[in-house]
Each structure stands twice: as C-alpha cells, then as structure tokens.
Structure 1
Amino acid sequence: MTEFLPEGRRLAYKENTAALQSARTLMQAAVSGAILEASCTVCDAEHNMHVDLGCMKGIIPRSEGAIGIESGATRDIALISRVGKPVCFRITKIDETGSEPLAILSRKAAQEEADREYVSKLTPGDIIGARVTHLEQFGCFVDIGCGIASMIPIDAISVSRIVHPANRFSVGDDIFAVVKGRDQGHICLTHKELLGTWQQNAERFAVGETVPGIVRSIEDYGIFIELAPNLAGLAELKSGIKVGDCVCVYIKAIIPEKMKIKLIIVNCCDDGCVPLEAPYFITEGHIDRWVYSTPDAPKYIVTDFSE
C-alpha cells in the first residue's frame, strides 16, 4: 500500500511536495486527512519534534511523536533519532494565534492509521517492502510503514552466515522481507526466503569458472566462501586467509545432490571486488512454503509460513 510507505520514501512524491506549497494546500491536506512527510530539524528539550514544512513551521508534540510514547512502550530515543531525517504525519490543525502560523502535526495518527489499515492485516508469508533504519549485532531493524518498526534476526537475513547485519545491509537501504509472524503485537520478519533456493543460486555458476567470493568462516576442515547471499562453497585451507577477505576462487565441482560446491582459492582480491550480487527472486505477493534444499540433499532446509 503506497499510502503507508517507510519514512523517507514519500518525501519527493509530487503529491507530498504539492501539499507543502502553502498554507492553503496544507489546510486541504488537513481536511482530507492525507499523510505527509517532511524533515525533522530539531527535537527540543521536551522532546517535541520541530518539522520544516517549507511554507511554515510545524511541530509534533511529544505525545504525538509515536505510538507507545505516552505509555512508555516506545522510548524517547525513537523521537530523538529522527532529527535530520524525514518524518511522516497528519496535520491536526494550523495555529494562527501567534506572530506566525504554526502547523500542529501528529506522527502517531499516521502510525495508527498504518497499523489499522495495513500492518494489522498482514499475515505470515506476505512479502512487503521495508527500509533499513539501524543495525545491531543480533539483527536488522527496519521501517515497514510510517515509522513502524520491525526486525530481521541475523540468522534470517541469508542462508550464508554473516557476523553482522552490516555485512549485508546499510542504513537507508530499501529492501523486501517476508512476514514470519507476530510477537506481542509486533511484526516479525525474515529475508532469506527471497534470495533463492540452492538450485536457483547454483545455476548462476559453472564448473571451471573463476569468480570472486567472501570468506565467511574458517574451520579445521576448510574455508567457507560466500558466492552469493544464499550460496557458499568450501575450499581447502590456505595460509594468510582470514574471515572477511575477498578472494578469487576456481569452481572445481558443483554437486546438487549434496548441496556442495568445491572451490580452490586462487588469490586474494586486493581491489576489494565482491561476489555477484544475488537479485531478489521474489518481490511481491505471498509465500506459503519455501524449500531451500535440493530434492536429494541430506539436509532439509524449509520455512513453512502456514504453521
């Protein structure tokens, strides 16, 4: 639903810029109940958010800054961290009692509408758009609409294991995710199911090719090298190699029935080249069940969204 985009996506829309042109167009937006977006310039000592509307100043009172602020379920850092960034809102009124008109705004009202009309209707398996807001060791936090937060745990980002979400994402990235379920009312997400099965990824490579990869782990029996976010191969141990290195690898064998790719490390890539980026294999609709494994593989990897 385009009306409930992650914050930052609406800023340049012509409908948004048109509504911010004058006091008259702002009043029209207030009457229609449109959700708008503009940049937060200051969060004052009382944690009211000041917004630059272009034609006039706006303010989001602390109590209207986000769902859960008044109850304490949402911490004030959720307001402070929006300084210098776009925020969505609905206009509640335009106060003309002072020397200059001031638009009174509510971000909470926009979030409540998004929750009621969009988020509450999401079901496990639904594919949605999101924007990365910050990264922690344990997962990637995203905005799924109007500043409503969700998280992708690190082990749900890709099949190929990473040490930190920053190995895969950057703040501000627009991504896709799959609804996994709900936890205490919050949407839980996963991501790896959109990056293709083992077979889909392996078909992008051929025996005899030399390609770039990233060293993801070093074990006693070999070195795991990521060729794509959902595909890794195993190379023999080689001195001077460390986790995170970009390496050039020769593809010695591709074995679908064992879900194995045998590699030979040719050399380190000093120019910092990265593996072929895997596109999203799915970006819309709904998934009931996703099977990563090949039919005869001894290890069965599946996500069942119908459970």
Structure 2
Amino acid sequence: MQVEVAETAGFCFGVDRAVNAVYKLLEEGKKACTLGPIAHNPQVTGDLREKGVLAVDSPAGAPPGYVLVIRSHGVAREVEEEIGRLSVPCVDVTCPSVKKIHRLAREAGEQGRVFLLFGDGDHPEVRGITGHCTGEFLVCRGAGELQTLLKNRPDLSKLPIAVAAQTTFHAGEWQNCLGILKKVCTNAVFFATICNATAKRQKEAKALAQKCHRMVVIGGRDSSNTAKLRDICAEYCETYLIERADELPAFPAGLRIGITAGASTPASIIKEVLVTMAEVNNNELNFEEMLEESLKSLNTDEKVHGVVVGISPTEVYVDVGRKQAGFIPANELSNDPGVKPEDIVKLGDEMDLLIMKTNDQEGTIMLSKRRVDAMKGWDEIQEAQESGEILTGKVIEVVKGGVIVLKGAMRVFVPASQATASRGEDLNALMGTQVRFRIIEVNRQRRRAVGSIRSVLREERKAAQEKFWETIEEGQAFTGTVKSLTNFGAFVDLGGVDGMIHISELSWNRVKHPSEVVNVGDTVDVYVKGLDRENGKISLGYKRPEDNPWVKMEREYPVGTVCDAKVVGMTAFGAFANVIPGIDGLIHISQIADHRIEKPQDVLKVGDEVRVKITEIDFDKHRVSLSIRALLEEEQAAADEAAAEAPANEIVYSTELPADEPEE
C-alpha cells in the first residue's frame, strides 16, 4: 500500500492563529471563553474544554473574569457593538480574509450595490459577513439557487451588484456561478474572496483523488471546508471522512491511498492517522519513509523558504511547504520595534526564514526573518568597517550610554561620546531620525557592532566650513537657526558655521537679555555685518535698517509735533517718556508744569499717559526733548487771546461797590 498526503492538509493560518490565541491565554494564567466553537474539530474543542475553556453563544454569556475570543469566522457588527457596550475583555482573531469580506459587504451598501454572497447561509462566517451589510444582500448556496434567484428577481440583471464568496466556498462552483452572472448581469463587480489556502487545498485534493484508489479526508463533520474536500474527492474515487484515527477502515493491500485534511485539523491528528494506517497494514518500513517524507520533521536553526499567506497586527503567517503552519511573531520580523507587520511584508512575499521553535502537537513552526537578515547583514557591516564607508540608518532606541541605530536588520550601538557633534547634547533628540555613521568596531563572537555618528558629523562640518568661507561676503543674507544664547548675544548656525548676533543688534529697543527677542531653535533671517577670517568669527546683523525708529522719527515726528507719550522713568531732573517704540524723550523738570515744582514725582508717576510737544531732536546723539509746559502755556495764551477779543458791548456784572460811593 502506498500513502500520499496532500501538501497543504491541516490547519490553515486563520484557524491556527485562533487556536494558538486561546492556548496563549491559558499559558498566561487567564480564563478564556470562545464565541462558539473555536474550530470545527471535536478533538481540539474537547482538549480546550478539559482545560477550562468555555464556548458561549453571545457576549452576554461570557462569565466575569473571562476573556472572550472571537474565532476566525468573525461576527456581525451588532455583536462587536455588544462586546463594546458590555466592556467584555476580548481577543479578536477573525481571519484577515474574512475581515476583507466584511469591508466589501459594508462598502457595497454604501455604494448603493446589492451584495450577493455565495455560501451556506447557516454558517457562522456567512452570518458574520451579512451582519456587516449596510444595504440589500442575498445569499446563494450555489449555481442552482442562483438560477432560481435570477428567475424570481429579473431586476438583478440591471441592478448594480457586488459579488463575493465565503472563504471556504467550492472553487469549481464559484466558477460556475461567475459564468452565469457574467452572461446575465451588466452592472456587477466580482471579488475573489475564496481563501488562497482553501483554493489550494481543494485543488490538491482533486489532483490527489484523480490518481488514488481511495481518499481519506480528516476533519470535523461539522466543518464546511472538510465537507467540500470530501465532495471533491468523492467525484473521482471512494472517499472516507473521519474525525479520528480509530475510524479508519482496513484497506486491501496494493492500493494507493490519498490523505487530506480540513482547515480545522491539527497536524497531531494527521500524524495519528498515518501511524494507525501503518500499524493496521503492518507496513512499518513504508510508514517510516512516508512519515519522513510527508511531515518532514523540521529542526530548530534550519533555514526554510516561505510565502506570506496572512498578516495580523501581532504576527505573519507563512506557507513553508510543510505540514506545520508557519508564523513569524512581530518581534521576529524586524529589529525595529516601532514598525508594524504590514509595513514590512505583503501577501505573496517570498523570503528566507530561520526556524526558531517547532510544536509537533499543535503543528506549528515559529520562524524568524530578522535573524536571517542579520546573518546577511554581518558581511555588509564587516566590509563597511574595512572600507570606512558611511552608512545610513534609523535611531530606534536610546539606551544607557548611547543609542541603537538600525541598518537593515543590524543593530549598531553608538556610544554617547560618538552620537553627537559635541558632548552633552540630548540623545533623545535623535530618536526616530535617520543618521549617517561609520562602523568603528565589529565583534562577531559577541554579536556586537559599534558605530560613530560624530566622526561623520565632524567631517561634514569641516567640509561645509571650508566651502562656506570660500563664498561668504559682508552684507550676505542667511537663514539660520539659533543655537545658543549668552548674556551678550545669540549664536546662530548658518549651516555648519556659527555666527553671533550681538545683543545690541537684536532689536532697536533696549533688551536686557537675548531671550527677550529670540529663543534656541528659532529660525532667523540675518546678514553678515563683519568677518574675522583669521579667527573664524562672523558678526551678524538681525535688526533691519528700515525698522530703525530714528528713521521713523525723522520722517513722521519733526520738532513741534504734539503727541501722546508714556512715562517710563523718573530722575531728579525730569521724567523719561516713550514717544514711539525704541525712542524715549526727556521732559525736563522745568517743562513738566507751568509753575515751579520741587521734584518730578510731585506731578508725574511711571505709567502716566501725557500729552507732550517735541521741542528738540539731536539725531547724532539720539536725544529728544519734550515739554508739557509748552502746551500748557500755549493753551493759556489761547485763552487770554480769546478773552481779549470778547465784544465791547458785553455786560460784565460785579459784586464790588465803587470806591467813592458810601455805604447806606
């Protein structure tokens, strides 16, 4: 007797992920319950039940303290909302392929299309999908029901429709349905939603059944995809559907037996069936050869080639051409902890992987991509050290004593003394940035590579300085960044070379400290006021001549101008008042009032708003003289003049008696 096992028999990545999620919760000491059976396999559900895992019918059935697991079939939108409303702790392991159909169902309604889904209306996956429909939807089991539907609904031929299928739908039946629809419907869009693993499994089962005398399909009798495998195989040869090894019939000698298994069948049951067949048929030698060929025991540290068949937020599922289901944890994809799996790989990507751990009981292999990449990266790092090549990488961690730079898959340590252009700079500012660096040390035995950012920065700075001094001229304008502040000015990075703005050049107004005008990190427009090439010093100007308040004073405030001013200072000989921003004038004590005063404070105080007249301006010495008294005297003179010009016939009344008339 010859036995051949289908290449993709057993767990699909969706079911594998769901089952592993439950076992992981148990390993973490948590209580778990599943929304319906986690898999259509009595052995799997029985083992979980013995470990205390409950199967509930609704979110409300989850006992307090239990974590609810949404299986790979997915659930309707209203169930998701109920979970949120009840605040039930939840782990959602809906198959990514099913999630895609949820989105298509929702978008079909939003676009005004009728959603036509091929599948079993009673299957939990189909109920979950239709629960995400936002418009009219229809469910058909196959071509026969489709013909009846089109007869009863002739309007469908002209309506916009979106067509999809349950992930485990019969691939051949799907093609039959498409053939009918494409002839009848003029406004339809079709989506290939049958899971790739399902399609491949069905194709292999068909090919195997065509060349075998008997077929054994292993899986739960309630499993939709297992039932379809049985139906496919039964078209070509006698087929048996079994759940356990003890259900195997005794096959006559000399037959060729094919074995396949549904997506919910773990590798351990497939292996048990193979062992039993060998014992029943007393063919130990063939069994050993068969087992070695079909299961291909994988050893840790072995390299394999895989194809990405699924992506989730926490891991990537890979087909490595073996019975075991391969998965790559997110932390084994890349050395960069900040990236997401979907940023690194996409469905269909092929890659070399390293086996980290195998689990024959569950039929899984844990794989690593980053370790294979790191092995390849050592040669590049070694060559870069020898040649002095400048590399580019991303700072992914700030650690004690330095930073970690990721170059490809290689983690390069850069000490704090080599991380910045000068000591004392904040290393956190480098986090997430792209940096250029050199490799200064490689130790393969310790798996350690050390780099230097500073050496590159200094070379770049030196080159920039040389080029800068070749072209710089007085009066040249620059846009720079304020690098540091001192009491006497601000230092500005002009692009590899620093210049200084003296405090007197920051503003036309008086400032006590540069921070009143600029801050570290500000972008400023400056111009070169002076150059000291011998000592490498650059004096910068910041305030603009056109903003000079004395220019405005000369243009808009000539001598004789009357304006409002604010008292800003007091002295024994007078008060200073601000005329315009940047210019204060002196009101001498003799010009504060129209009578003698002992001190300015008798009339004025700081903050007073006063009306003044500009009596004198000395532009060379930057002095302005102001007077309140001049305005008061002008007002009095105007009043006297008005009184003198009063009409002659105006009667003036007086209470005083003439001096030459006696009193009565």
TM-score (normalised: structure 1): 0.48
If each structure's helix is expressed as a fraction of its own residues, which one has the higher value? 2
Higher strand share: 1
* Length-normalised TM-score, structure 2: 0.25
